[in-house]
Chains A and B, each alone.
Chain A
């Protein structure tokens, strides 16, 4: 179906229906999902900054030794954004606000796909594929706020390439200035523009032809310096990307392989792309080729980059699918009333999916009705909030729970580690792993870090729990299906 429809269109066409369903689906998924593990310190930092009226240059939330020097928080604007949502309506509002951001992202992707292909329905299908590729990476956290900005970059590129309209490129430098204060992923915008410039040079054999993208890239580079740390933000990103512990131990930073659902989706998308490329008569442009190669490599190198791949892929996929697949004109008459009823139904589903409402849906299993995942240690947090920490010494916690526990119990309790790997020297992480493994040195390490109580996962720290049950000097203080809390004998 062509975007350019007939002039005597009914007031609510099936094309409106496609758009509404596509954007609503991108909203309903995240709105009905429980909150992820990477939002808690953003909420805490936002709260701290709002209360103190200044940037947070240190880390009061974890007790493990920190890296030397000041701590850069390049996500401070995202922290404040999420804190604002939290202040407005608590965690349900955080989830809903994030769902709105994701819906905006995929609306922009849809715009980019329609711009590139001129086919609305195929563009919608391409956006669904993009959404499926990123679905596991859409939880509330600072990175999610970067998605609509990247989608704007893609949209601007498509407008420039296929409509010869470069006006949107002017938006990218200010967008980069925002991006650089929201999340460290702003280098993907540089990458996109760099690929576009390189592709333009290859196609035209002229450096001059790449001028719009090169100038925009330079302006974006300058825009990225508009942050409290100036060039330090760029150094921070380079440090994160090369951190050995992050690359080897953090699941979302590990390479994408076919053994994960994200990997199956990613490699499946490559096969689909290749099949359509063969079937279509049109050839991809040099810009598209370079973008696909670079972002496919990025997605293969790290699970968390698959979401960018999806956003970039959608318009290209829609364009070649429009050429490869038969263009069936809809013969059916539009029924505006029926369309209105369907749209009302979709909106109703979106409203029901909101976190405030889904708790009262009897069809949902009890563990899907809340805003927290099943493995959130709610019982432990309640227990800790009822008990003071020892006068001296640290808590050792199951690291994936660090974020939630600090959100739920700070400042009364201070967790040892949370998900912010870069805050602590690598040796601290190796020692943490040695303690929970537990290695033959765990007792020495517990003494070295002055650990006086431990919050452990029954599923993942079973060997250490077994040791502690029979260990003189330690006693069990709390236990439920998920977790245990052990105290050194002098504890509460």
Chain B
């Protein structure tokens, strides 16, 4: 028992800085949880759809967190005048990746782990301060996850979309496309089923036009041979949802819980 507690007391100073670093960078992984992790530059079209596709800014949800993490590392290193070249390289590379695209923050988080742990490990902390860091990291992670969580697709909408007899592709809000495709299996083709990188740039430009209620929205849906639409009528797609409801070309199947499902009307 005594030996176990002795080894634990030796391990704690070694592990605590790493645990603190993990907790500090944890919120940086949150933005990509719902859409899948990838490393890419920001895209001017996709940036209109998802904040994770935008370059990092102070207006990004919790956008100051990565800045704060970098500042803590810099502050500790500057205070002690002790930073290794490898630390600076990791911070710069990770920082550039995060600045280029919010969704790349996980790379910054990974690369910051070692520099942050090293700097934290060289400071004498009171035990409770690690608890504070952990609580802040968890709170920031939870907040980011809640803020960035896509709206839920009601089962009735899935049912209506997949049982519609109308042929053609399904044009769904991009956050629901993969879920719909997995339910549909091979019975239907859902556009953008593979996420934001699964369709060409032309598609996303048309997608934006449609969801923003462009004058040619109906023609664009015809061009993509769309038979069924599944829209976030309370959020990103509300403009086109209103147009669909008032269009003779479309028949509404579900209009509830902020979701609109419609099929192309016969004739």
Contact = CB atoms under 8 A, between A and B. Distances in A.
Interface of A: 254-259, 263, 267, 271, 274, 277-278, 297, 300-301, 434, 437-442, 463, 467
Contacts of B217: 440
Nearest to B41: A259
A253 to B, nearest CB: 11
Given A437-B212, A437-B214, A439-B239, A259 B58 contact: no
A9 B167 CA distance: 90
Contacts of A439: 212-215, 239
B55 A278 contact: no
A441 B92 CA distance: 48
26 contacts: A255-B58, A255-B59, A257-B42, A257-B54, A257-B55, A258-B55, A258-B96, A258-B99, A259-B55, A263-B99, A271-B92, A274-B74, A278-B78, A300-B67, A437-B214, A438-B215, A439-B213, A439-B214, A440-B213, A440-B215, A440-B217, A442-B215, A463-B214, A463-B215, A463-B216, A467-B215
A300 B214 CA distance: 33
Given A278-B81, A441-B213, A259 B74 contact: no
Given A274-B74, A278-B81, A439-B239, A301 B213 contact: no
Interface of B: 42, 54-59, 67, 74, 77-78, 81, 83, 92, 96, 99-100, 212-217, 239, 243
Contacts of A258: 55-56, 96, 99-100
Given A258-B55, A259-B42, A434-B213, 4 more contacts: A258-B96, A301-B57, A437-B212, A439-B213
Contacts of A255: 57-59
A255 B67 CA distance: 14
A300 B215 contact: no
The 6 A-B residue pairs with the shortest CB-CB distance in the complex, in nearest-first order: A255-B57, A257-B55, A258-B99, A301-B58, A439-B213, A438-B215
Contacts of B77: 278
Contacts of A278: 77-78, 81, 83
Contacts of B215: 437-440, 442, 463, 467
B215 to A, nearest CB: 5
Contacts of B99: 257-258, 263, 267
Nearest to B42: A259
A contacts with B: majority SS? helix
A303 B32 CA distance: 27
A257 B215 CA distance: 32
Contacts of B96: 258
Contacts of B100: 258-259
Contact of A277 (B56, B78, B239, B243): B78
A398 to B, nearest CB: 18
A300 B59 CA distance: 10
A255 B64 CA distance: 12
Contacts of A467: 215
B58 A438 contact: no
A443 to B, nearest CB: 9
Contacts of A434: 213
B58 to A, nearest CB: 5
A50 to B, nearest CB: 41
Contacts of A259: 42, 55, 100
A442 B217 CA distance: 13
Given A278-B78, A440-B217, A257 B56 contact: yes
Nearest to B81: A278
A257 B100 CA distance: 8
Nearest to B246: A440
Given A257-B99, A259-B42, A274-B74, A440 B214 contact: yes
Contacts of A274: 74
A347 B78 CA distance: 44
A101 to B, nearest CB: 30
A300 B55 contact: no
Nearest to A284: B78
Nearest to B82: A278
A320 to B, nearest CB: 12
B261 to A, nearest CB: 20
A463 B209 CA distance: 11
Contacts of B54: 257
B214 A256 contact: no
Nearest to A264: B99
A109 to B, nearest CB: 25
A463 B92 CA distance: 42
Nearest to A274: B74
A256 B58 CA distance: 9
A300 B58 contact: yes
A239 B212 CA distance: 28
A297 B58 CA distance: 8
A300 B57 contact: yes
Nearest to A279: B81
Nearest to A467: B215
A441 B239 CA distance: 11
A438 B214 contact: yes
Query: Looking at B77, B215, B216, which has the most chain A CB atoms within 10 Å of its CB?
Result: B215
Contacts of B92: 271
B147 to A, nearest CB: 18
A83 B182 CA distance: 66
Nearest to B95: A267
Contacts of B83: 278
A298 to B, nearest CB: 10
A158 B196 CA distance: 51
Contacts of A277: 78
Nearest to A296: B67
Query: Looking at B54, B56, B59, B100, which has the most chain A CB atoms within 10 Å of its CB?
Result: B59
A300 B71 CA distance: 14
Nearest to B96: A258
Nearest to A258: B99
Nearest to B78: A277
